[in-house]
Structure formats: structure tokens, C-alpha cells
Amino acid sequence: MRMRIRGVGAVGGFGAGRSALESVLAGGICTPVLEARSQGGPEWAYYRASTDELERFAPKRLLRRMDHFSRLALLCACLALEDAGLEPFDKTTNSGLSVMVASGWGALRTTFAFLDSVAEEDKHASPTHFSNSVHNAAAANIAIMLGATGPSLTVSQFGLSAQSALVSAAAMLAAGRAERVLFGAVDEWCDVLGYCRERYFGSEAGEVRPWDFETHSALAGEGAAFFLLEPESTPEGPYGSLLDVRLGTMGEQERLALPDGPLILGADGHVACGQAYADVLRDHGGDVAAYAPLHGSLPSAAALDMAVAAVSVASDTFHAGPDKGGGMRSTSLEGRPVTCLTLGEAESYGLLTVGRSQA
């Protein structure tokens, strides 16, 4: 089932909102932040996402018990509804709205804060940390704050979480379980993640080089992307439609059939998937882009790539981003759809295509 994309919201190291995303696509620079470690040593480097703009939608008193993970998701959800011309906190309008959230890492900061409170306090672990530590906390907070009365679901399949959740969103609309779906993917960074990545990959610094498939250059990131999705029976807007969502596994003799048109690769500087992306490039002769240098490496990156695809369809321009030579270039889409491809472990893949139904 195709789904209309009515509104788009994105938050990442590049800023918050469509204008921030378009600015960095047009040639802006996204620089990782350096954060001091609590135990000393070299600083952590990662792409930080700020939730300061959330106070434009909700007063601080309503947010005081909400952690960074849920704030990222709520801010992005509000941006998507606002972009669709709706008032985010209008509970009458949000009646029948379903909330679908994808996350690969979940609420990392709060999960480890809760574990710390268990280890340090024994019988007096933090109930606030516990309630916010589960993966579905973000979806619950969004549904409660916005007054969404439709079904609420959280999906986690690591790097393919966004595509898996979109399959569920399509099924929910097709079954008439919801009038509209507020879909999004969110992941956050914490120092435990930084420690683990350092143990696995060594010190992560420098710039992400998605086209260097033989060298580890990934830098962790955090962020979110949300979309207001409607059934195909509704009129198509400027962002077009989600034309296709696929998940699968490639066999040794099977080549992945890609739609015609520009391709966004989820290549983010990890050597483990590098060769698979290199193989895809050999079979694809069209325009290709990779946006890891703009948002970092995170499981929810596919949703951020989908936001880029939707913005590209709206402007009929493919923002090629940092190309293989490190420069920036853009080409006319001429009505062609844009496909986002994520390759995972064990030859798994997730694919989604954004474009206009009549194209």
C-alpha cells in the first residue's frame, strides 16, 4: 500500500526542522561536537541533536520528567505536524491519529541511568528512570502529549527498524485501524555507547568517509525523523508518496533489483557493510548520495535519509550531498523517485522509495 507523505520533521546534528535540513543539503557544514568524559581522558566526538526548540511547542513544566530520547521524538513529531499545517497539541485534530515509532538503540541514557541507580541504590532505584527506559516510552509520551487516540506501536530491528515500522504503518492504514499515522524513528547517544564503540573500533575522530569502503571512519550520531502519513485515497501533496517499502535477504547469487532513479545509500563508514555497498554501486550507474557526514552513524539513519528524499521530491532536486570527491552537487529529479537503501548484517537489506504516484 502506498502512503501519502503529508508532513516532514527532522532533527539531528544539522539542527531542527526542514529549513535546517535544506540548509545543510545546500552546502552547509555539519561538524561533530566534542564532549568531555565523566571519567576524564580524550573527549567523545559525535553528532549531537538539540531539543531546545521543543519549548516553542510545550512549556517546561510539561517536559520536566521527559528524558532526552522522548524529547527528541516529541520535537520531531511536532515539527512534522506543523509542517503539515496542523496544530500539534490540538487533541480534536489528533483524534484517530496512530503513533508508530522505530528505534534501534532505544533510550540509552535513561536505561543506563536506571541501571546505575539499581547498582548504587539497591532497593531505591529511580522509578522515573525505569518508566522512561523502555523502548516504547517515546511513543507513549507522544500519544499522551498530543492526544493521539489511535493505536501506538514501537518497532525495533536495529538498522532496519524504520523500514520494518513502515510496513506496520502501511498495514494499519490498509486495515482502517487509523485515519493517519504519525511515523518516526529516533535514536540517541550516550557515553556508554561511546565507550563501546571505542572498544570495538578504536578512537573515532576525523570525518566520515562513506565512499571509503575499506577504512572505518564512522562517527556516532543521534537524531530523529518523523512523517505524517495518510492513505493513498487522499490527495498527494508536495512530498509525494512512499511508493515502496521492502525488507529482505540477498542470497549469494541474487542481485538486489533497484528502482530507476537516484539512490541514497546508508553507507556510514563501517567496514562491515562496506563491500556490500561497493557491490551495489557497481550495478547502479545513476546518481548516488550518502548522508552520514551530515548526521552520523545511527540505526535510525534510514528515516533521516527518507526525510532528504521527501524534501528532494518536493523541490524536484536531488541533493547529492558530499560526493565521492568531497564536493557538493545537485541535479534535477525530473519527476523521478528517490530510493533509500540500508544494508545490514547477514546480507539483510531495507529499501524504501519516495516519489510521485503519477510519475
Q: Is the pLDDT of residue 138 over 70?
A: yes
Q: With bands split at pLDDT 50, 70 and 90, how would you rate the model's confidence at 254?
A: low
Residues 71-110 have pLDDT tens digits of 999 999 999 999 999 999 998 889 889 999 999 999 999 9
Over residues 20-29, the pLDDT tens digits come to 999 998 887 7
Does residue 325 have a pLDDT over 50? no
**Location of C-alpha cell 518508566:** 131
Residue 246's SS3 state is strand
Residue-level pLDDT at 165: 97
In 3D, which of 163, 157, 126, 131 has the Cα closest to residue 144?
Answer: 131
Q: Is the pLDDT of residue 332 over 80?
A: yes
Rounded average pLDDT over 332-341: 94
Distance of CA 313 to the CA centre of its chain: 18
Q: Could you give the CA distance from residue 307 to residue 171 in angstroms, rounded to a whole number?
A: 21
Q: Pull the grid cell for residue 182.
A: 504519525
Helix (H, G, I), strand (E, B) or coil at 53: helix
260: three-class secondary structure by DSSP: coil
Q: Over the stretch 143-154, which tens digit does the pLDDT of each residue have?
A: 999 999 999 999
Amino acid at 309: A
Tens-place pLDDT, residues 193-240: 998 998 888 877 678 889 899 988 999 999 999 999 999 999 999 999
What pLDDT score does 193 carry?
93
Query: Closest Cα partner for 337 from 307, 320, 321, 316?
Result: 316
Query: Where do the structural domains in the chain lie, given as residue ranges?
Result: 3-355
Residue with the three cell numbers 528515516: 303
Please tell us whether the domain made up of 3-355 is placed in CATH 3.30.420.40: no
Positive or negative, the CA dihedral 242, 244, 247, 250 is negative
